[in-house]
């Protein structure tokens, strides 16, 4: 069996220590006190009236049609939990020669985190590099409050809004979990019904708090904007600056010979198919993970300046009852719960089927799979992540 995280492919990961790839210290992924202290002290900044709608007890941003994960306290907790799990996986806040670049004080240094979410990564970088101006941008005001003079959050819509930043103006630009987030609604596109009920009837019963039902409609003609964001990142980076990208692949693999991931975790396999279908409906290129190098090259980075580190995560931990194991299980289930609207609005399934599958997934990730390999089948199912870094020449 593989360990929880390991690399594959021909690219060797960098040394795990040394000044070139000095990893940042990171809190334990299961350090609930650390997570809790941030939540209790901080919390979600308010969305103004009319900027949100409520659907199945989750709050969503209503200022754009194109981002469909919730904007509520539950989502803040989910993103922060995921942050600590990713820190343990890398390990640290980053890979690549970030420290070399940011520690050089020969001139002022600036960092940009695109789609910063709760801003937890931005803030931890600001703490680690107090002389670096760290800017987090996001279309939602989910960021934790803080007292740091070198950390700023702004509401900016990428890629168009990034025009406010000058050419060659950042030393490090970071994107994490943006691959399945950034898309754009084509103008004048027809609107399509959002939710399909279990009877196959389209429903508009879930009105937004403002009384309108605009939350129930989505455009199927959205285009993937990720390459455009990377082109903007290349423009904004100074020569010698670094882009950091950490993304999941929307695909599962079986590590156990003779068994597919469908055999091992049938509900999760089905859910992943639905999610891929829903993302494709939204205009997201779900295969872009495999072509990231060429997207970076098209954005202006040179192919010999690109490095990548892959790691896999088991969908059910070696010890599912441990604190880490439970944390990882919650992480998967809470992500799928957050993606409920994305899946339902695309029409790939109905609410009852979704809820039934999610209940099945909750069992599989906790070591209670009904799959062919028995309850611990989820330990044979791997979810790949890639971490790319590339220097602008």
Q: Does 115 bind ligand SAM (CB under 6 A)?
A: yes
Cα–Cα distance for residue pair 212/204, rounded to 1 Å:
10
Q: Does 158 bind ligand SAM (CB under 6 A)?
A: yes
Among residues 21, 67, 226, 301, the one that binds ligand SAM under rule CB under 6 A:
67
CB 203 within 8 Å of CB 197: yes
Q: Does 122 bind ligand SAM (CB under 6 A)?
A: no
Site string for ligand SAM, 127-156 (x = CB under 6 A): -----------xxx-x--------------
Q: Does 70 bind ligand SAM (CB under 6 A)?
A: no
Burial 372-388 (b: 16+ CB within 10 A, else e): ebebbbbbbbbbbbbbb
Q: Which is nearer to ligand SAM, 176 or 392 (CB)?
A: 176
Which residue stretch of 101-109, 170-178, 191-199, 249-257 sits at the interface with ligand SAM (rule: CB under 6 A)? 170-178
Q: Does 178 bind ligand SAM (CB under 6 A)?
A: yes
Q: What is the dihedral of CA 36, 39, 40, 42, to 10 degrees?
A: 150
Contacting residues for 300 by C-beta, under 8 A, at least 6 apart:
231, 234, 235, 392
Among residues 30, 59, 62, 79, the one that binds ligand SAM under rule CB under 6 A:
79
CB 283 within 8 Å of CB 351: no
Q: Which is nearer to ligand SAM, 162 or 391 (CB)?
A: 162
Cα–Cα distance for residue pair 356/362, rounded to 1 Å:
10
Which residue stretch of 27-35, 43-51, 116-124, 324-332 sits at the interface with ligand SAM (rule: CB under 6 A)? 116-124
For residue 342, CA distances in Å to 138, 259, 351 come to: 19, 29, 12
Q: Does 83 bind ligand SAM (CB under 6 A)?
A: yes
Contacting residues for 328 by C-beta, under 8 A, at least 6 apart:
85, 313, 317, 365
Number of residues that bind ligand SAM (CB under 6 A): 19
Q: Does 81 bind ligand SAM (CB under 6 A)?
A: no
Cα–Cα distance for residue pair 372/16, rounded to 1 Å:
38
Which residue stretch of 12-20, 109-117, 294-302, 346-354 sits at the interface with ligand SAM (rule: CB under 6 A)? 109-117
Which residue stretch of 47-55, 177-185, 283-291, 310-318 sits at the interface with ligand SAM (rule: CB under 6 A)? 177-185
Q: What are phi and psi of 100, to 5 degrees?
A: -55, -45
Q: Strand, coil or helix: what is 112? A: strand
Q: Does 87 bind ligand SAM (CB under 6 A)?
A: no
Point out which residues bind ligand SAM (CB under 6 A). Answer: 67, 69, 79, 83, 115-117, 121, 138-140, 142, 157-158, 176-178, 181-182
């Amino acid at each position: 069996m593989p360990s929880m995280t390991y690399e594959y492919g021909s690219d060797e990961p960098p040394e795990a220590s040394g000044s070139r790839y000095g990893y940042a210290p990171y809190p334990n992924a299961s350090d609930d006190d650390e997570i809790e202290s941030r939540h209790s002290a901080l919390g979600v900044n308010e969305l103004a009236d009319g900027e949100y709608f409520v659907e199945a007890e989750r709050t969503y941003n209503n200022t754009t049609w194109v981002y469909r994960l919730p904007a509520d306290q539950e989502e803040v907790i989910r993103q922060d939990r995921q942050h600590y799990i990713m820190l343990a996986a890398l390990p640290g806040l980053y890979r690549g020669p970030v420290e070399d670049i940011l520690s050089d004080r020969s001139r002022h240094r600036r960092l940009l985190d695109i789609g910063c979410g709760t801003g937890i990564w931005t803030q931890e970088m600001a703490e680690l590099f107090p002389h670096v101006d760290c800017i987090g941008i996001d279309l939602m005001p989910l960021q934790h409050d803080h007292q740091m003079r070198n950390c700023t959050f702004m509401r900016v819509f990428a890629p168009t809004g990034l025009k406010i930043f000058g050419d060659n103006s950042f030393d490090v630009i970071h994107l994490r979990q943006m691959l399945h987030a950034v898309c754009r609604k084509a103008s004048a596109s027809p609107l399509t019904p959002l939710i399909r009920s279990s009877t196959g009837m389209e429903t508009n019963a879930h009105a937004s708090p403002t009384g309108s039902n605009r939350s129930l409609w989505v455009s199927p003609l959205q285009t993937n904007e990720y390459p455009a964001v990377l082109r903007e990142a290349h423009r904004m980076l100074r020569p010698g600056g670094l882009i950091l990208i950490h993304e999941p692949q929307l695909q599962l693999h079986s590590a156990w010979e003779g068994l597919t991931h469908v055999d091992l975790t049938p509900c999760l396999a089905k859910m992943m198919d639905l999610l891929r279908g829903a993302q494709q409906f939204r205009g997201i290129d779900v295969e872009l993970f495999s072509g990231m190098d060429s997207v970076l090259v098209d954005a202006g980075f040179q192919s010999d300046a690109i490095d990548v580190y892959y790691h896999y995560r088991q969908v059910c931990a070696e010890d599912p009852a441990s604190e880490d194991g439970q944390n990882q299980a919650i992480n998967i289930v809470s992500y799928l719960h957050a993606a409920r609207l994305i899946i339902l609005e695309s029409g790939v399934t109905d609410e009852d089927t979704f809820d039934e599958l999610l209940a099945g997934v909750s069992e599989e990730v906790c070591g209670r799979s009904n799959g062919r390999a028995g309850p611990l089948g989820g330990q044979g199912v791997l979810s790949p992540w890639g971490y790319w870094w590339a220097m602008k020449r």
